[in-house]
Amino acid sequence: MVINNDLTELQKNIGYTFKDISFLELALTHSSVVHERMVNKGESNERIEFLGDAVLELVSSEYLYKRFPDYPEGQMTKLRASLVCEPSLANDAKEIKLSDFIILGFGENKSGGRYRDSIVSDAFEAVIGAIFLDGGFEEAKKFILRFVLNDIENKALFHDSKSLLQEFVQNKMKKSVQYKILSETGPDHDKFFVSQVFLDEEPMETGEGRSKKAAEQQAAYKTYLKLKLK
């Protein structure tokens, strides 16, 4: 099932027009469709996602190598991991509204799979693979630079926000960091959480997300920025 089957709109969001639209259709097809229809596994996006993952790793590695000539290997590895991890890619996918176009089996769609980070991030990497197959390395690179390797300082900070906040508060303020879930709404397969940071008993910033972890991470990021700017 798909919310929006107008791939013209998705191509506009991506900034790339496919010569062979079947590559994009394959990239959007989750394995749950294959399982329900009992067809060949090659008709899902698993193989093309594998290819896109390799292209993403190469482009991001080259970019960080050139952008940060003073970074040792370990620091580049950590930064790359924060940029291409599952939650980061799922968040990047929001910019092109990718979730609306993913083709899921009925059961997976009903259980909220369309908004699950693992499914969305895999589809995002599959789109990279599709662009690579259709338009070559340079077109795939343009896509990655535009949607993944942008605003990397903030992305890295967001990824490490909980540990950075913990370290900052312990060293500078000698307080404990706690997270409390303020609200939990929606059915089991499509929960939405609001979390708040507390320094000892002092309430700080709130965050929201489709998992407790995501809500806490956003709250930690906003709190860390607020404290650093004081």
Would you name the residues annotated as active-site residues? 53, 125
C-alpha distance from residue 222 to each of 35, 88, 161, 206, 213 (Å)? 41, 17, 9, 8, 14
- Let me know: does 119 contact 45? Beta carbons within 8 Å: no
Neighbour order of strands in the sheet with 202-209: 177-185, 192-199, 202-209
Q: Which amino acid is at 125?
A: E
For 209, the 3-state DSSP assignment is strand
Report the sign of the C-alpha dihedral through residues 173, 174, 175, 177, in that order.
positive
